[in-house]
A and B are shown apart, each in its own frame.
Chain A
Amino acid sequence: MDQQNRISRRQLLTTGGKLAVYGAALGIAPKFIRPARAGAPDALAAGMIGGPTGFDGAERYQYGADTPEGRAIEAAKALKGAGKAPAKIVIGLSDGSIGQLTKPFPAGAPSIKDLWEKETGIPLEIVGLPNGQEFTKTMQDISTKGGAFDIYSVEWNRLGDLAESGGIAKLDDYVAAHKPEWDDPKRGYVDGAKGVALLNQYRGSTYGVSLDGDFQTWVYRTDLFGDAAEQSAFKSKYGYDLAPPKTWKQHADVAAFFQRPDKGLFGCTDLRNQGWGYTNWYQRYTSMASPNQFLFGDDGTPLINSDQGVAATQEYVDSLATHSPDAISWGWSEQYGNFAGGGAAMTCAFSNLPKFLDNAGNTGSKVTGKIGSMLPPGREIDGKLVSRSVLWFSLTGMVSAQSQYPEVAYLLLQWLGSSRIYSWMTANPGGYFDPFSLNDFADPLVRETYHGYHMDIVRETVARTVPTINYPGATAFHNALDENLMAALTGAKTAAQAMADTAAEWKKITRRTGEDKIIDAIKANKAAWPTVLDPV
């Protein structure tokens, strides 16, 4: 059945994700299937105490004793030796991510799970959670004292909520003892200590270990933008050259220009559904002032019920015209499928879109070799361009306060989340942990999977990314925003009403959650906002 080894476009249209991942694996695999190094394929490079073996370049992911990974393994082994390790570590993980831990990659390599078990002798049990249920299941485990997990993996911005709930362990002591070196200037998080504070900390203490990098990144179709006929048609219509839009105004022009639903082409397909649509609103809103239009003032008052807020919302609503008619009910997989089918000129998505869709092995994708990446559109303010993206979702590992062996659980996270293992893991197309640290952006295997052109843009996008609300009440804040934006999209409310209602709701949530906590968290959150401005 040759059908089985072929990916058709239609299949991608409906299934986007994991199938696409495997499509990507097929495309990439031939490049990696090489004879293992002559001699001892299992041998570690000199000075290394652990890490994957069995494929070319494996030494990049191996570690010596004096590395975060090495220390984690040694400490875990010591704890096991002292009888202070669990019979198994139970980790709750989104279904779609499990593959990166359980599927060997590249050919010849062990799986991450096998490697950990082999090196420490502590088995891992991975419990799949349906996408979207991570937080619900975690909260359930916490509120009912279920104790079913040692490690939760939850969206990044729930860190504040979970820390306040007392359901996740404070990791400061372990961080001090085992030195994860997350702020390493060469291999560590983008932005060093500031990046660590943003991703892993809440009110000055470490509660999580980042396992993802969902910096929303823009892509466009190089074939459409490079087409001479399109270029001249665009120029004669709008009076300037067709190019990846730098401003939201240009973005609207380009999207309108390519909006041809009768020909199966939409201008732009960034998401407009519940729980996702506001990632685009964020980008429009935060770029309304230089260097940033903040969501809250320092005293905790919402700033969205303002001219900026209303204008951004209006723009957001108007942009629906250059989307699919189903946009409001479209999720991520519909978006990817549509883009693979050549159904859109631009979109904004996880950084992994080109990894799946611009892929020689993905014979069904109509856009292979036709994808380009661009910085988020922005606004010209005081002669400079303010362009902002947003960090949204981004799974983060957290240790359950109910875990009997929190230190071992932390050590697993340190091992997973440190640059060597993480780069190796993120290059694996079997799941959706995306690159986020400096080492990932430079790693040849990651760059091969994610494409060099894209990695450079992602890295620049990271520098222009604003964090979403990550203080206590994050979920309630976002739900209030979400509902009102949705009401604006469906015409139930005007942009002004939507912003006024959201602000009123936000005030209530602030009061309910405790103003001091919120004001504190707002300040910490603001410290992580970008300051980069671009020339016009």
Chain B
Amino acid sequence: MTLPKGFGSAGGEGATSADVERMIGRRVENMTGIITLAYIAAWLATFAGTAAGYFYYPWAYPTNSGHFAFIVLTIIESIGYIFCIKVSEEGTRKNSNVLMTIVLGSVAVGTLLIAMYVGW
């Protein structure tokens, strides 16, 4: 097996497990934190985007439309978040179902409160 420059020992022997770990870098199953933060950031950005719409252009983009878009996009982002965590942890002993439940539940409540009280 040909290894990239800097990996393996001189003399063309195979990769050691240390080499393999170096080539992998951060494993996907250890990316739960960054994926969760990215999801929350995307959700907040979605709120900011729709809010910019109904605060600055209420005649073209009424609050109802903004909240409708916000809710639908939150659902799309949530499905993406679940897929990402499930793909990254499949085949390992890791399980972040509790974290996902808390995050998704909080986002659901936040979405509901925003849709009821912001921009009217």
B and A form one assembly: no
Q: Residues of A at under 8 Å CB distance from B?
A: none
Q: Residues of B at under 8 Å CB distance from A?
A: none
